[in-house]
Chain A
Amino acid sequence: AQSVAQPEDQVNVAEGNPLTVKCTYSVSGNPYLFWYVQYPNRGLQFLLKYITGDNLVKGSYGFEAEFNKSQTSFHLKKPSALVSDSALYFCAVRDIPYNFNKFYFGSGTKLNVKP
């Protein structure tokens, strides 16, 4: 079965500090992994993806994520948080080749960055 878990409903961090938003997944085949961000009353915006290759992937707005196959994790990170990073973050997975037409989403993590 396919699933994505984001164990933290909310992450609080002070501006300038590093941030981590956690994600673990379960798939039958190989995972294609994605992070999206949603600002209030907006659609989902793509941040970054892992398909193959280097386990550390870099994306938009200074975000990066580390793929760990043994821990089936894909945590989102940023070295120095900004107040403007405050938003809702979703992890998603495609299960290749079994369900390549479907994106499974986690429940979302609200990131609060305080000045």
Chain B
Amino acid sequence: DTAVSQTPKYLVTQMGNDKSIKCEQNLGHDTMYWYKQDSKKFLKIMFSYNNKELIINETVPNRFSPKSPDKAHLNLHINSLELGDSAVYFCASSQSQRRDEAFFGQGTRLTVV
């Protein structure tokens, strides 16, 4: 019973391509996030959605477009991939009105060649 699941786990693609990462949570949470972990292991928030509405967009390039079809899913589409996009992308979820921790997916390692 995986709480937050992401697919794919690994993604290798060429510069200029468009790719998507999918995320689903079965915890009933109302808030979902995308975090980027760079090669130095820094974790930086990219987006946050609450009940399918975008509430945080941390100056991420327009090539990154999140989509939340319902509150259990948050997908990330990336256009025109660049070398600098190579990183591990983590999806997470939490309940906004509770004092809860965030639950993280296992990550998607994106390598742009």
Contacts and interface: CB of A to CB of B under 8 A. Distances in A.
Interface of B is mostly: strand
Contact of A42 (B33, B99, B107): B107
Given A100-B96, A101-B50, A101-B96, A43 B104 contact: yes
A64 B105 CA distance: 24
Contact of A101 (B4, B48, B107): B48
A50 to B, nearest CB: 10
A22 interface: no
B56 A101 contact: yes
A90 B43 contact: yes
B41 A88 contact: yes
Interface of B: 4, 31, 33, 35, 40-43, 45, 48, 50, 55-56, 90, 92, 94, 96, 99, 101-107, 109
Contacts, number: 55
B96 A46 contact: no
Given A43-B105, A43-B107, A101-B50, 4 more contacts: A43-B90, A102-B56, A103-B102, A105-B42
B86 to A, nearest CB: 15
A34 B42 CA distance: 16
A107 interface: yes
B101 A34 contact: yes
Interface in A78-115: 88, 90, 92, 100-105, 107-108
28 contacts: A34-B101, A36-B104, A41-B109, A43-B4, A43-B90, A43-B104, A43-B105, A44-B43, A44-B104, A45-B104, A46-B101, A46-B102, A46-B103, A49-B101, A51-B99, A88-B41, A92-B102, A100-B96, A101-B31, A101-B48, A101-B56, A102-B56, A103-B33, A105-B35, A107-B41, A107-B42, A108-B42, A108-B43
